[in-house]
Each structure stands twice: as C-alpha cells, then as structure tokens.
Amino acid sequence: MLEIKNLHVCVGDKPILKGLTLSIQPGQVHAIMGPNGSGKSTLSYVLAGRAGYDITEGAIAYNGEDLAAMPPEQRAAKGVFLAMQYPVEIPGVTTMTFLKTALNAQRRTRGESDLDAIGVLKLVRAKAKELNVSEEMLKRALNVGFSGGEKKRLEILQMSLFEPKLAILDETDSGLDIDALKLVAEGVNALRSPERAMLVITHYQRLLDYIVPDRIHVLAGGRIVAEGGKELALELEAKGYEHIVGQDSIKRSA
Amino acid sequence: MTALATRREEARTSFSGRGLPTRRVEDWKYSDLKSALGEAGLGEEAAATRIMGLPQGLEFSDLADPYAPAWVAAHLGTLARNAVSEASLAFAEGGIALRVPAGQAIATPLALELSGKGHLRLLLVLEAGASLSLFETGDAAGPRNAGIEIVLGEDASLDHVRLSRPVPGVQVEEIALSLAARARYNAHFASFGGKLSRTELTIALEGEGAQAHLSGVSVLGGDAHADITTHLIHATGNTHSTQLFKKVAGGKARAVYQGRVTVAKGADGADSRQTAKALLLSETAEADLKPELEIFADDVKCAHGAAIGDLDADSLFYLQARGIPEADARALLIHAFLEDALTNITRDDVRGMVRNAVGQALAALT
C-alpha cells in the first residue's frame, strides 16, 4: 500500500530525512519511534503533503501512485489521513460545519455526491457517541477551548468518519493522561481492519502498550536505524534511544 | 433669525474658514479627502435620507422647518464640530430629525437609506428608557457627506447597523453620539470601500453605566479604501466600551482603523477594550491600524490590540489535509476570520444580510 524508497526531504536548506525506506501492507500497523529531532513529524507532514517539505531524492508510492505529485486534498480523498500532533484551533468555524465541509469535499474529489446536512449529522453523531465526543463539542468552534484529550478524540472521530486507507497518527499520545490515552487507543483499535494500514508515530513506548504494532521502526538522524517486532519498544524503553542509535551500523548489518 | 439658522450660519463660516482636512490633520492621515475630491471639493448640494417606512411611535421633524420643535433645536449641531460635520450642517438644507419618546420601545426596525450626492444631516433622539433598532444603507452616489447626531437619554438603547455597498466615489460620514446614564449603543459597520470611504464615530459616554459596543467588517478589493475612525470618550466612571473591527484587503486596497479612547479625569471604573485585525491577501494591499489610549483616571481597565497578517499556514494545511481544496480552505478561513465581528449584530435577519454582503464581496475578491 505504501512504499517509501530512499526518501530525502529538506525543510528550507536543511536536510531532515536522509534516505528513509519503509513499506506498509494493508491491515498492518507499523510504529515509528525515535528521539526528538529524528524526523518523525517531517515524515508525517511529507506524507500528508504539507508545503515547504521538499523531496530532493527518492519516491513515495501509494497504491502504485506517486503520492508526492498530489496536492494534500487529493491525498485525503484517496484515503490518506494524518491525525495531527497539534490540531489547529479555528475560531469562527463550528466543528460540525468543518466535519461536513471536509467530508463532502472528499466525496466531491472522488466524484461522489454530497451528503445532505441530516445525513452528515446522523453519521457524525453515531461516531461521536463511540468516542465520547459530546454534542456540545460539535457545536463549538473547531478545537477552540478543547482540552488536549478532546482535541485528540476529535482527530480520531475524523479518522472514523473519513474511513481512510492509510492512517498516520503523529504523537497522538502527547499531552494525554492515561484515561484519555486509553480512550483514544480504543478508538484507534476499533478502526483496525484488513483493508486499512496505520503508521503510528511516537516518542514513547507507552502508546504501543495500547495500540500494539505489527512492526516497529526506529528513526534517527533521518533514517531507519533499527527494525523489529513489538518487543523492540520494550528494549527501547529499557535501554534508551542512545543504545540503539549508537549501534546503528551493527543493527543494520544484522 | 432662529437659533437653528444662527447655528447653520456659524457652521458655514466655520467650514469656510477651515476648509477640507488635509493629511496633515492627524485624524485624516490615512484618508486624503482633499485630493480624493479634487477641485470640486464636497460641493454645496444637498443629499437626502430616505425613510423606508416610518415605524409607529417615532416622531418626525424636517430640519428645514424654521419652527422645529424644541427637542430639535436643543440638539442639532451640538455634538460634533469638526470641519466636515460643520459642512454637512451648513449645506444639508434641512434633513430629518427623529425622536423616540420616553419609555417607548419601537419593535419594527427603522430602515434609512442615504441617497444622492451632497450633504445630509440626521438627528436621532431617544429619550429616557426608549429603544430602537436602526438599519442604515446608502446608494452608490458621491461625493456624499453625512452628518448624524444621536442623543441617547438615560437607559435608552439603540442597535445600529450600517450596511454600505462598494461605491466608486467619495463617501464620508460623521456620527456623533452622547449617552446618558445606563444608555446603551450597540453598532456594527460593514464597509466595502470606495475611492475614499470613511465613517468617523465620536461617542461620549456621559452618564454612569453608559456603554457602547462597536464592531465592523471591511472587505476591500481593487483600489478601494475604507477608513473607520472612532473616538470613545469615557467622561464618567463605570462606563464600558468594546470595539472589534476586522478587515480583509486584497488588490491594492487600503483598510484603515483609528481608534482613540479617552478616559477623563475621575472616570474611575471605566472599562474599555478595542481590537482591530486585518488580513492582507496581496502584497500590495495595505492596512493601517492605530489604537490609541489617553487615560487621565487612575482606576481603569483598558486593553487594546491590533494585528495584521496573512492566513495562518497551519490552519490552511490542516483543512487541506482533511480534503478541502486550497481555494475553499482559504475562503473558509477568511469567513471564519470575520465571523466573530458579526456576532455583535443582534437581529438574525440583519446579520444574515450583512453575512450575504460579506460573502459576495469575498467572492469578488478571491
């Protein structure tokens, strides 16, 4: 589903990703772990198509198509979803209006007809209930005055609503207490399916206790420096990143 | 000669002595009236105010009537005396005066249309405890100079919405108000600019507990200019004012906000907040935002802020990443930027009309 080959990305003049290679199949959940500044968020932004993140070498194929050639809205319509680390606050647009606008924009790009207001409302209400998102939150301006947990829950609500094929979760655990984390993880796990791939980006092992990945990649210095199964997270937790990053060459040749 | 005629004569002398303001006059720094008008100046013609149906309970008087009732003579020409408003008093050849008697609540909104080129004059008096909703529009003629005086008695309450349209020429408006104790003025100004377009508000909060809440939006494209200049005077303590002005400018447009708040000596407990923000959609658009505070009292709360910027890149990316095409995402963010300045409009139907006008202006702009 997603094939990233030898990806080099610059932000301004600064190289951030320096030859990242990664492959994800439908139904799989992969985790990317790495220290601060390793390029985790850059990877999520470049996959979602943020301006200012320039691919200087390598390629990203998504279901056989060149992802980098698509504007962000087209990626979204084709099923790429990024749950953001810092969801933006937009005063003046209610959450419900935003959800309806986004849902119908994606449908239009795919050549489908708009859902009417009642159809969207029913759909959103059903999803909201599962994620403990209140009616009152939907009426408020998008993310304005939301707690950290509420913002992340709304990200997962969107993921549930848009039904992406590839979901990227960027530091979804940041700023969450354990109860909020569990709720978010439950929401994510409910969306695991044989057709859907997920890329979970996190600094800490904690999130991976709840969203158990099939594969873990360690990102450092803009490249994958170690890979393994879910037990790798525990090793990182016990020994720290320096231990792994320091043994870069050994791990890679193994 | 009647008192009114004397006052008009005095205004004529005063205006001819002072002439049109130039940019050297601080209040007119960003609106070059003299050069926008050229040789012809403001002229001496009279424009008109059309009343679109006089609601029941309102008293009407023609300012051309030399035997105007006492309430007209008591107030006309008393509030503002700058050069431009002296000109409207001198040349309007009349105009209209309206009064809401004490304790009357007028349910039907009063709709006025400022019409034609030249000078016009309007006096509106709300006696103690009276209330009214005023909806003001104007045609595209110009140059036009409107002088409006509004007197609010104790506990009186006025809702005022001015919805202008894009005009090719020059339109200036001087609105002067005085508020007695606990009177309330709630106003919104939606402007879409002209060669030169300006609304100047001078609001004196004279009585304890008087309050004024101002908001406005401007959407400007091409080489449109729109200036809103406010002067809030907290003459007494425990007076309250808020201001929220939002501006969107593209092309070579110029959006101006000047807001001066004066808190007089002894006006303790005065509370004033003003915010002006502008969104520039092109390199050549300009915004001049100038909040000013003059505080002569000790115990006051005053806050002011001004910001000029472009659309937020994080917000734009967020919306695009959710599937909303860039042009739609920009439009959504611009609407959102203006939205909070519209919430001050109390009537839903009027807010809808303003929102439509804003939508049309934005569609023409982007």
Q: Is the CB of residue A80 less than 8 Å from the CB of residue A166?
A: yes
Encode pLDDT of A91-101 as tens digits.
989 999 999 99
Q: Which residues numbered 110-169 in A keep a CB inside 8 Å of some CB on B?
A: 158, 162
Which of B322, B344, B358 best probes binding to A when mutated, by most A CB atoms within 10 angstroms? B322
Nearest-by-Cβ selection for B318 from A88, A103, A106: A88
Contact list in A for residue B314 (CB cut-off 8 A) is: 86, 88
- With 0-12 / 13-18 / 19 or more C-beta atoms within 10 angstroms meaning exposed / middle / buried, residue A76 is buried
Per-residue pLDDT of chain B (366 residues; tens, 9 = 90+): 677 888 889 999 999 898 899 888 889 999 999 999 998 899 999 999 999 989 999 999 998 887 889 999 899 888 878 899 999 999 988 789 999 999 999 999 999 999 999 999 999 999 999 999 999 999 999 899 999 999 999 999 999 999 999 999 999 999 999 999 999 999 999 999 999 999 999 999 999 999 999 999 999 999 999 999 999 999 999 999 999 999 999 999 999 999 999 999 999 999 999 999 999 999 999 999 999 999 999 899 999 888 988 899 999 999 999 999 999 999 999 999 999 999 989 999 999 999 999 999 999 887
Rounded Cα distance, B131 and B100, in Å: 8
Nearest-by-Cβ selection for B332 from A82, A88, A101: A101
CB contact under 8 A, B321 and A50: yes
Nearest-by-Cβ selection for B320 from A72, A87, A98: A72
CB-based contact, A77 to chain B, within 8 Å = yes
Rounded Cα distance, B44 and B47, in Å: 10
Task: Give the count of beta carbons closer than 10 Å to the beta carbon of residue B12.
Answer: 16
Beta strands in B18-169 (DSSP E): 48-51, 59-62, 96-100, 110-115, 118-126, 131-138, 144-152, 157-163
Rounded Cα distance, A143 and A154, in Å: 8
Cα-based distances in Å from A115 to A102, A122, A238, B311: 11, 11, 50, 29
- Domain extents in chain A: 2-38+49-253
Q: Which CATH architecture has domain A2-38+49-253?
A: 3-Layer(aba) Sandwich (3.40)
Task: Give the count of beta carbons closer than 10 Å to the beta carbon of residue B252.
Answer: 16
Encode pLDDT of A117-145 as tens digits.
999 999 999 999 888 889 999 999 999 99
Encode pLDDT of B59-95 as tens digits.
999 988 878 899 998 998 888 788 999 999 999 887 8
Tokens of B237: 């303590």
- Say what the pTM is: 0.88
Q: Is the CB of residue B281 less than 8 Å from the CB of residue B249?
A: yes
Task: Give the count of beta carbons closer than 10 Å to the beta carbon of residue B208.
Answer: 16
Percent of chain B scoring above 90 in pLDDT: 81
Q: Which of A31, A71, A219, A213 is nearest to B316 (CA)?
A: A71
CB-based contact, A91 to chain B, within 8 Å = yes
